[in-house]
Amino acid sequence: MSEEEGQLEARLEEQEEFEPPEGFVSQANVTDEGIYDEFEENWPDCWTAAADLLDWDEEYDQVLDDSNPPFYEWFTGGKLNVSDNCLDRHLEERGDEVAIEWIGEPTDEDNRTFTYEELHREVNEFAAALRDLGVEEDDVVTMYMPMVPELPVAMLACARIGAPHSVVFAGFSAEALATRMNSADSEFLVTCDGYYRRGDALDHFEKANEGLDGVDHDATTVVVDRLGDEGHGHDLAENQHDYAELVADNEGAEIDPVERDAEDMLFLMYTSGTTGKPKGVKHTTAGYLAWTAWTSQAVLDIKPDDTYWCSADIGWITGHSYIVYGPLALGTTSVMYEGTPDHPERDRLWEIVEEYEVDQLYTAPTAIRAFMKWGKQFPEEHDLSSLRLLGTVGEPINPRAWKWYYQHIGNEECPVVDTWWQTETGGMMVTTLPGVKQMKPGSAGPPLPGLDVRIVDTEGEEVEPGRAGYLTVNKPWPGMLRTLYQNDERFVEEYWAEYSDVDSDDPDDWVYFPEDGAKIDEDGYITVLGRVDDVLNVSGHRLGTMEIESAIVGVEGVAEAAVVGGDHEMKGEAVYAYVILEDGFDGDEEMRSRIVEGVEDAIGPIARPEAVVFTPELPKTRSGKIMRRLLEQIANDEELGDTTTLRNPEIVKDIQQKARSDD
């Protein structure tokens, strides 16, 4: 490092607050700090600002109907269609502009560019095909697809005909697919033959078929041919159709966008919770689209002429909201990349930023930690001066990683927005408005205007600045989940019961609890500390410990299992499994790999345990509850807390030794 560079690093290391870069502010979508007061005074009518970003077939009567909390309804009486808003309305002015810029993993493959006109055409053709196959309004269509352009096409085609989609991340297992299709009674599946991952042509269709074997009703399937000659040569069964043929059969078809009620379901997304069963989060048409469009404009600063890139997978909520719906509602160019950041080389993302002159990059802390570890020479090889804004999402970002991103990717000219939100919130909730607010690395920032977020203790009283507490949202917002699919009771139980008076019909008595710990500073900036329930955050992916435990217990020879999260330098958290075997089974390598396989089969490789520790007992309280805190401390090789309340304190040292010798 040169002396000059060394000084720069030292200066940044000490700096705790960063002003929004002037060059950014001078062109930002939102620059008036008054928006915070204005939204507070005009709540809930302030949200017409979001609704105004959409085209309505019929105006809404009411901004918020809060007569039956927590079943809030937004923009009631309004009618609109999401595909119309993301496509048709842009055609006249922006038909020739690029909507989706798709980049495959193989570098010698041509990118696929869809202008709004072209995307509109293909969405219409596929919507017609879905209708031919028997998809009707309100039928749930499952998509089990990697990052191919046909995924957003299928989502928008569903939206066009009023069929909610349920996208299952392609990295999830066959079993996970089956569970979700059964839970949603979904009779249609759109999937894909395969995709590229670090140079290999992976077989995806085999996994999809295995999943279909576990579906307890008939399902009509559409298969996209991604791999062509490199495919795995599967034959299609009778109720399985080739995507390209269907689209060709419907060439030139035009399907009128179905008028949907504001509160009609747009999609379902399954996510992990405290119990073993994934939760089907329900999002609706108007509130969700208004929320993603408004936050895309206010926080990501998206303008129609931008080339915007969110490097998430569409199989997660980040991709739904900020690759597909928000950006396309605003008529911008959204980049979609199939591969990983380190293939063929560790500069792949920077090569893409340079080649496509990307304006905004939205990625995850786990990726930033990897970039940091690989070194600044990779971004330095490329011209990144097109970048105007950087964003992160998915887990807390430590100040060092934040500053590295700010300096080496943004050249100190781009604001960094650290955005806190969840599958359930539909879009961003806590983050700085980049043209208005100072940034404080390590803190996501204040709540967005119009949001009432408080950090409270177990009694619901606000805690002093600097003290750890629980994050709560005290007023509804348009992008919020409406319920858990066909399970209103669990919806109330999971998100509201903790801090609400559940017998009240006064909305002021209802508080949303996202299950995150947090603290707030004197300026109202919130630092999110992480989940306080039994949910892990591995590389920004949300995994339920119960789901993993039940997968492990399903392995022959396993009597009991406890899963906790241990700190991990790159992944943030990693899965640690403590396992008790049945008599006659050995904790050997074979057992270990059967357990790992069991988890991969039930959930997917992302849930693979980092360590499996065999033990004759688990530390339990006198009432028989597993003391997870101790298991976490063991995973982190930390000093152990109080063990006196345990029924079996002697086991702890034993487990600790085993865990250490396994490292």
From the CB of 527, what's the least distance to ligand WT7, in Å?
A: 8
Closer to ligand WT7 at the Cβ: 368 or 595?
368
Q: Return the closest-CA partner of residue 481 out of 276, 317, 363.
A: 317
From the CB of 13, what's the least distance to ligand WT7, in Å?
A: 21
Tokens encoding 83: 């595909």
**Interface region with ligand WT7, contact rule CB under 6 A, candidates 168-176, 226-234, 412-420, 545-553:** 412-420
Closer to ligand WT7 at the Cβ: 347 or 424?
424
Sheet holding 188-192, edge to edge: 240-242, 220-224, 188-192, 141-143, 165-167, 265-271, 279-284, 483-484
Q: Which string of b and e fits 507-534 if b means at least 16 CB within 10 Å?
A: beebbbbbbbebbbeeeebbbbbbbeeb
Applying the rule CB under 6 A, the residues between 502 and 521 that interact with ligand WT7 are: 514, 516
Applying the rule CB under 6 A, the residues between 541 and 580 that interact with ligand WT7 are: 542
Using CB under 6 A, which of 183, 423, 432, 483 touches ligand WT7? Answer: 423
Q: Interior CA angle at 352 toward 347 and 358, to 5°?
A: 125
Nearest-angstrom CA–CA distance, 513 and 493:
10
Closer to ligand WT7 at the Cβ: 88 or 515?
515
Nearest-angstrom CA–CA distance, 43 and 37:
10
Nearest-angstrom CA–CA distance, 294 and 54:
10
**Interface region with ligand WT7, contact rule CB under 6 A, candidates 19-27, 143-151, 413-421, 475-483:** 413-421
Closer to ligand WT7 at the Cβ: 129 or 317?
317
Closer to ligand WT7 at the Cβ: 532 or 646?
532
Using CB under 6 A, which of 72, 288, 420, 512 touches ligand WT7? Answer: 420
Regarding 528 and contact with ligand WT7 (CB under 6 A), the answer is: yes
Regarding 472 and contact with ligand WT7 (CB under 6 A), the answer is: no
Cβ neighbours of residue 81 under 8 Å, at least 6 residues apart? 57, 159, 160, 162, 257, 258, 259, 260, 285
Regarding 324 and contact with ligand WT7 (CB under 6 A), the answer is: no
Q: Return the closest-CA partner of residue 480 out of 286, 260, 259.
A: 286
**Interface region with ligand WT7, contact rule CB under 6 A, candidates 235-243, 348-356, 524-532, 558-566:** 524-532
Nearest-angstrom CA–CA distance, 140 and 351:
38
Closer to ligand WT7 at the Cβ: 208 or 393?
393
Regarding 270 and contact with ligand WT7 (CB under 6 A), the answer is: no
Nearest-angstrom CA–CA distance, 244 and 374:
40
Cβ neighbours of residue 508 under 8 Å, at least 6 residues apart? none
Distances (CA, A) of 203 to 206, 225, 254, 409: 6, 11, 33, 35
Applying the rule CB under 6 A, the residues between 336 and 355 that interact with ligand WT7 are: none
Nearest-angstrom CA–CA distance, 259 and 246:
25
Number of residues counted as binding ligand WT7 (CB under 6 A): 21
**Interface region with ligand WT7, contact rule CB under 6 A, candidates 188-196, 392-400, 447-455, 557-565:** 392-400
**Interface region with ligand WT7, contact rule CB under 6 A, candidates 221-229, 244-252, 391-399, 637-645:** 391-399
Using CB under 6 A, which of 394, 410, 415, 441 touches ligand WT7? Answer: 394
The strand pair at 265-271 and 307-310 is best described as unpaired
From the CB of 287, what's the least distance to ligand WT7, in Å?
A: 17
Using CB under 6 A, which of 444, 561, 602, 634 touches ligand WT7? Answer: 444
**Interface region with ligand WT7, contact rule CB under 6 A, candidates 105-113, 149-157, 247-255, 387-395:** 387-395
**Interface region with ligand WT7, contact rule CB under 6 A, candidates 88-96, 250-258, 416-424, 479-487:** 416-424
Closer to ligand WT7 at the Cβ: 139 or 547?
547
Nearest-angstrom CA–CA distance, 603 and 552:
11
From the CB of 307, what's the least distance to ligand WT7, in Å?
A: 22
Q: Return the closest-CA partner of residue 153 out of 55, 47, 63, 246.
A: 246
From the CB of 560, what's the least distance to ligand WT7, in Å?
A: 27
**Interface region with ligand WT7, contact rule CB under 6 A, candidates 199-207, 223-231, 290-298, 388-396:** 388-396
Closer to ligand WT7 at the Cβ: 475 or 542?
542
Nearest-angstrom CA–CA distance, 305 and 495:
39
Closer to ligand WT7 at the Cβ: 271 or 615?
271
From the CB of 543, what's the least distance to ligand WT7, in Å?
A: 9
Using CB under 6 A, which of 166, 318, 360, 615 touches ligand WT7? Answer: 318
Using CB under 6 A, which of 54, 100, 140, 393 touches ligand WT7? Answer: 393
Query: For every residue of 387-455, which 3-state class applies, written as one string?
Result: CCEEEEECCCCCHHHHHHHHHHHCCCCCCEEEEECCHHHCCCCECCCCCCCCECCCCCECECCCCCEEE
Using alpha carbons only, how large is the chain's radius of gyration in Å?
Answer: 25
Q: Which residue has the tokens 């063991």?
A: 634
Nearest-angstrom CA–CA distance, 495 and 451:
17
Using CB under 6 A, which of 366, 419, 432, 550 touches ligand WT7? Answer: 419
Provide φ and ψ at 463, rounded to 5°.
-90, 160
From the CB of 422, what's the least distance to ligand WT7, in Å?
A: 4
Nearest-angstrom CA–CA distance, 380 and 409:
9
Closer to ligand WT7 at the Cβ: 44 or 604?
604
Applying the rule CB under 6 A, the residues between 529 and 548 that interact with ligand WT7 are: 530-531, 537, 542
Closer to ligand WT7 at the Cβ: 296 or 419?
419
Q: H or E segment at 113? A: strand 112-115
Alpha helices in 450-564, H assignment, sequence order: 488-495, 545-553
Q: H or E segment at 330? A: none
Cβ neighbours of residue 29 under 8 Å, at least 6 residues apart? 297, 298, 301, 302, 303, 435
Regarding 421 and contact with ligand WT7 (CB under 6 A), the answer is: yes
Residues of this chain that bind ligand WT7 (CB under 6 A) = 271, 317-318, 393-396, 418-423, 444, 514, 516, 528, 530-531, 537, 542
